[in-house]
Amino acid sequence: MPVVSIDHIDMDEKGVARIAGQRTKVIHLVMDKLANGWTPEEIHAQHPHLSLAQIHAAFAYYYDHQAELDAQIDRTLVESDALRQELGESPIVAKLRALGKLP
């Protein structure tokens, strides 16, 4: 696959795509879109330190590497679900449930 250069995107030392000059990972912006259905403008409202150009660049990178990033998202969800089950219910959730604040 040819190397694609997208302005505003850098790869860190671990090979993770990030917004250039920021700590924000491309995958986090993609997950905001997938989980919340946010548009780039809505993502910008939630992450005002990022420009719309940076956000659009993140999505350009995502669409160029969609299969790889989707697989990474799937692995992350499986790992977090397993960890959540391993740790069980948090004390605050148990307390709220006991108080009738949660089903």
Whether 60 maps to a domain, the answer reads: yes
Q: Are 78 and 86 in contact (CB under 8 A)?
A: no
Residue 25 backbone phi and psi in degrees, to 5: -85, 145
Which tokens belong to 86? 């391993």
- The CATH number given to whatever domain includes residue 41 is 1.10.10.10
Banded model confidence at residue 3, pLDDT cuts 50, 70, 90: low
Whether 39 maps to a domain, the answer reads: yes
What is the model's pLDDT at position 17? 95
Whether 62 maps to a domain, the answer reads: yes
Whether 4 maps to a domain, the answer reads: no
- According to DSSP, the residues that pair with 10 across neighbouring strands are 18
Domain residues for the domain of 82 are: 9-98
Q: For every residue of 15-37, which 3-state class applies, written as one string? A: CCEEECCCCCEHHHHHHHHHHHC
Q: Are 62 and 26 in contact (CB under 8 A)?
A: yes
What is the model's pLDDT at position 8? 94
Residue-wise pLDDT tens digits, 25-41: 999 999 999 999 999 99
Residue-wise pLDDT tens digits, 61-94: 999 999 999 999 999 999 999 998 999 999 999 9
Whether 103 maps to a domain, the answer reads: no
Banded model confidence at residue 22, pLDDT cuts 50, 70, 90: very high
Whether 1 maps to a domain, the answer reads: no
Whether 52 maps to a domain, the answer reads: yes
Q: Are 59 and 30 in contact (CB under 8 A)?
A: yes
Whether 20 maps to a domain, the answer reads: yes
> Between these two residues, 97 and 1, which has the higher pLDDT value?
97
Provide the number of structural domains found in the chain.
1
